[in-house]
Copies of this chain bind each other. A is one copy, B any other.
Amino acid sequence: MERPSLESFTARHHLDSRSLCAQIVEAREGAIAVRSAGAATDNLTRIIEATLRLANRKGFAAMTLRELARESGLSLGGLYAYIGSKDELARLIQSWVSRTLRRVMASALADIETSRMRLATAIEAHLLTTEALREWFFFLYMEAHHLASDERRQAVAAERNSEQIFADIIRQGQSEGRYGAMNADIAAGLIKAMLQDWYLKRHKHGERGLDVTAYADTVTAAAEALLDASGETTTTTHS
């Protein structure tokens, strides 16, 4: 398979806000008071995009529904045809971005076999997904800590799941003798930290003129350097 561009990856996996909102409307049939699915998707998209815009600037708790009504173009009362409550709006966004990442990662890795290719593909898929849905992932990261314990547990599980994908790839590579004996969970954690930096510090990377594909190469090189070197005895003590 060719190296995917951001655009082709986004199109193939339906990683735009409208597609996600269409899925939400479909899954929540009955909970939304507006009958026409097309119009409902339009309005929900405007509501969620406005939410991400406002909440990512000033925080979800500080965002008021009056601002959201103004920003989304709907009225205060109109919002309640789409959401049950303000809190439910946050849960909605978070649960769908979590399951989207899981879906895309599984799909992207489906027919890749060698550990070397799986590592590069997983890194690239993670970065392209979070780049396409940048605001969604930023929201998830920043607001997940404030969820009620049930939803929070779900968010932690999703996070752990995506880290496990990397840990499993690393263990596969180790069993093939390709990588050194470093703890796979810890290595996966380091890789995840570098991946999350992409959407958490988007502004910085934009200033440097680094695009997502170049960053994917950088992280892949870093991961392989880390894993290749981990067989040697690296004594890192002072003086």
List chain A positions with a Cβ less than 8 A from chain B: 1-3, 56-62, 117, 120-121, 142-143, 145-146, 185-186, 189-190, 192-194, 196-197, 201, 204-205, 208, 210, 217-222, 224-226, 228-230, 234, 236-239
Contact = CB atoms under 8 A, between A and B. Distances in A.
Given A220-B236, A225-B230, 15 more contacts: A2-B239, A3-B238, A57-B145, A59-B143, A59-B145, A117-B238, A186-B210, A189-B197, A193-B193, A193-B194, A193-B197, A193-B201, A221-B230, A224-B234, A224-B236
A221 B204 contact: no
Contacts of A3: 237-238
How many of these chains are in the complex? 2
A229 B237 contact: no
A236 B142 contact: no
B190 A222 contact: yes
A115 to B, nearest CB: 14
A230 B186 CA distance: 22
